[in-house]
Each structure stands twice: as C-alpha cells, then as structure tokens.
Homo-oligomer: A and B are copies of this chain.
Amino acid sequence: MIYLDYAATTPLDARVFDAMLPYLRPDGVFANPASTHGPGFKARAAVERARAQVAALIGAEPGEIVWTSGATESNNLAIKGALEFRGAGATGRALHVVTSRTEHKCVLDTCRHLEAQGCNGQPVRVTYLKPNADGVVTPEDVLAALTPETLLVSLMWVNNEIGVVQDIARLAQLLRSRGVLLHVDAAQAAGKLAIDLANTPIDLLSLSAHKTYGPKGIGALFVRRRPRARLQPQMHGGGHEQGMRSGTLATHQIVGMGAAFEVAAQRRASDEQHLTALRELLWSRLQALPRILRNGNASLMAPHLLNVSFEGVEGESLRAALPELAVSSGSACSSATAEPSYVLRALGRDDELANASLRFSFGRTTTVADIETAAAAVIRQVQWLRELSPLWTA
C-alpha cells in the first residue's frame, strides 16, 4: 500500500508520539489541567508549553491560541463566534460575509447555516466568490464584494483539494485598512507555508494538528489580541480558554500538537523542498498519458498536493483500479458522498471529469520509489481503462 493522502491526514511524527506518551500512560501526568493541585499544575504547564510551540510556528503570542477539537471547530467558532459578537449591535440590514466557493465544507456549511438561520435574529447574507479557472480568488475579487455591511471575510490559505495558495498576505493588508475582519483557514497551510502573524494582519486563523504530523482531534484558533478579535463562544461551560472555548483540556493531545508544530518549524524548509520535488516528479511521470489536466495554478501551489483529472476514464473505476494506492478523489471529508468535487466543479470541470480526478498528497516519509510505483500504476490503469472504453479515441 502506498499512502499518498497526507492532505487527508498524516501519521504522527515519531517525536510527537514520544512527547505525548508521558501524558497518556496510565502512570503519566494525567491530571486535569484545570485542577488546582500539584498534578493539575503540572498538566497545565505542559498545556502552556504547547501553546507557546503552536504560537511560535505562526508568529503569534501564546495568549492568542485557543485550543479546539480541530479545524472544523476552529472554523465554526471563528465564523459564528465573530458574527455573533460583531453583529450584536447591528439592526435591520443583513450581516454580510464574503467567502469562496472552494472553501472547506465546514466553512461553507457554517455559512449556509447562518444564511438559513440568521444570527441573533438578524438575517445573514453570504457572497460565495467563484475562483478563476486556476482556482484563484484575488484580493481584488474580495474587495469588489465588500459592502458596508460586510463584517467578515473567510478565505482559506491553501485549498485542500487542489493545493492552490491564495494571496492572503496582501488581502490581509487591504482588509485591515478597511476594518473588515479576516478569518483564514490554515489547516493545509501550517507547516507548509511560512506564516508570520506578527506581520500579517489576519484576525482569526484556524489550525489542525493532524494535517501536520500531530494527533487527530485537536486544533486551535488564533484569535488576535491587538487589535482584539472578539468572539462569542460556541462551546459554553466552565470558561476555559479565556471564556472562548469550554471543556476539559486534553493534555496529551495538546502536547502532541505543540510538539508537531515545533517539529514543523524546524523542518518547514526541508519539507518544502522534499515535497515539491516529489510533486513535480509525479507530474512529469504522468506526462506519459495524453489528455490529463493539472487542477489549479501550477505556479501557486502548496508543495504537498497534486490534483489531476484524467479524460476518458470513469472516476469510480479509476479508484477501484488502484486499490494499492491510498489517494483521495476530492477531499477525504467529502468523499463519503459520491458526488463530484464541488471544488473542481467551481474550476469549470464537468461532473465526469471532476469525478475522474485524483488528489495525490505527499508527506515526509514519501519516497521517490513511492512516486515511481504510484506513477507506473496510474499510467497502467488509466491506459487499461481507456482501452476498455468504447468511447475512447486516442
């Protein structure tokens, strides 16, 4: 089995695993970090160390990191929390949010929920920007969509299906001067791109550990302190995390995320080289096949992703013909439903071609041999399916 689905999730880095064990073992540091006794304080200290590690990777302060259960929760908290807080005073006109059609489902579904239910009894209007054929939403596209009622822009840094990188740094500058809050889903960006929030005026930024060799089920939301991005909590309770997110802190998970982000900080540059090389090797090997399309702008790509559409083959058979290749067709999060990827549809691919697409994503432990084997299998099976097709004409 060759695993090329690192954008869906990654294995733990060995150092992350080692860092977690002392907080997981039956005889480890297991106390509740909220407990006010010795063992509790020890757990708390580990939580705070991890907070600093996460903050360090993205140029933030530890106090700007709020733990969540993952980027899904971070995105929900950022969007609903900001809208509820900011919209509290407004009356009459609909609160307005700008996002794109190629966001992760958890952003889109949150926006649709707000449109359907409103927010604190006020209507919500959402603009879903259509990216160009390359998958790009320009800062100018965003600016053109702003209205006086726009409270929030939510745009992902790196798209999880096609890997396109948006120009968030420029967008952030432009929005700051206009007083519009910017939320960025950075689940696929952390550890892959250089992120420096000290110099990029993003207000809210979502992170997930398991995309970066950390454990599943833990994430964080960066909430800027100066100027302060204010949120209504979405998880009510004992007032953990500065009142922004209640619930017992999962020490081992948090420690794992901290360790993963520390490793990511150390390895980012070399990871980028490694991943980019693998990506381009695979793309060049696949040139043996005529009529394939690379999805997304090749010059604006995160290093770990390659998304390719194969003309003339049917998507389900393509996947079935590659059982030894763990790849994704569309996002793992949406592939339970057999619908063609809405991201590829937004780029202008028709249903059939969207379905006949594979997302290859690479990781630290992917080797050149993996790529060669995978490329050979894909080429062989696409050729075979095309030969089998009564419709194919070479």
Partner of A35, one of B31, B36, B215, B335: B335
A97 to chain B, nearest CB (A): 13
What is the CA–CA distance of A20 and B26 in the complex, to the nearest angstrom? 12
**A216 and B17 contact, CB distance less than 8 A:** no
Contacts of A380 in B (CB 8 A): none
**B34 and A332 contact, CB distance less than 8 A:** yes
Instruction: Beyond the given A12-B30, A37-B319, A72-B248, please list 15 additional residue pairs across the A-B interface where CB-CB is below 8 A.
Output: A3-B31, A9-B32, A14-B26, A34-B335, A36-B336, A70-B247, A73-B247, A216-B251, A217-B252, A238-B331, A238-B333, A238-B336, A239-B336, A239-B337, A240-B333
Partner of A72, one of B110, B112, B237, B337: B237
Chain A 300-337 residues near chain B, CB threshold 8 A: 319, 323, 325-329, 331-337
What is the CA–CA distance of A270 and B315 in the complex, to the nearest angstrom? 55
A355-373 vs B: 1/0 string, CB under 8 Å?
Answer: 0000000000000000000
Partner of A236, one of B110, B250, B329: B110
Q: List 21 A-B contacts (CB under 8 A).
A: A3-B31, A5-B39, A5-B40, A8-B32, A11-B26, A14-B26, A17-B25, A34-B333, A35-B326, A36-B319, A36-B335, A69-B247, A69-B250, A72-B247, A105-B237, A106-B235, A106-B236, A210-B248, A215-B250, A215-B252, A216-B251
Which B-chain residue is minimally distant from A249 (CB atoms)? B216
**B37 and A237 contact, CB distance less than 8 A:** no
Which B-chain residue is minimally distant from A328 (CB atoms)? B35
Is residue A253 within 8 Å, beta carbon to beta carbon, of the partner chain? yes
8 closest residue pairs by CB, A with B? A217-B250, A106-B237, A72-B247, A121-B121, A69-B69, A238-B333, A216-B250, A109-B236
Is residue A276 within 8 Å, beta carbon to beta carbon, of the partner chain? no
Partner of A237, one of B38, B109, B246, B247: B109
A198 to chain B, nearest CB (A): 29
What is the CA–CA distance of A332 and B215 in the complex, to the nearest angstrom? 25
Is residue A132 within 8 Å, beta carbon to beta carbon, of the partner chain? no
Contacts of A31 in B (CB 8 A): 3, 5, 8-9, 326
What is the CA–CA distance of A39 and B2 in the complex, to the nearest angstrom? 10
Is residue A388 within 8 Å, beta carbon to beta carbon, of the partner chain? no
Is residue A13 within 8 Å, beta carbon to beta carbon, of the partner chain? yes
Contacts of A251 in B (CB 8 A): 216
Chain A 1-33 residues near chain B, CB threshold 8 A: 1, 3, 5, 8-14, 17, 20, 24-28, 30-32
Contacts of A127 in B (CB 8 A): none
Contacts of A139 in B (CB 8 A): none
A217 to chain B, nearest CB (A): 3
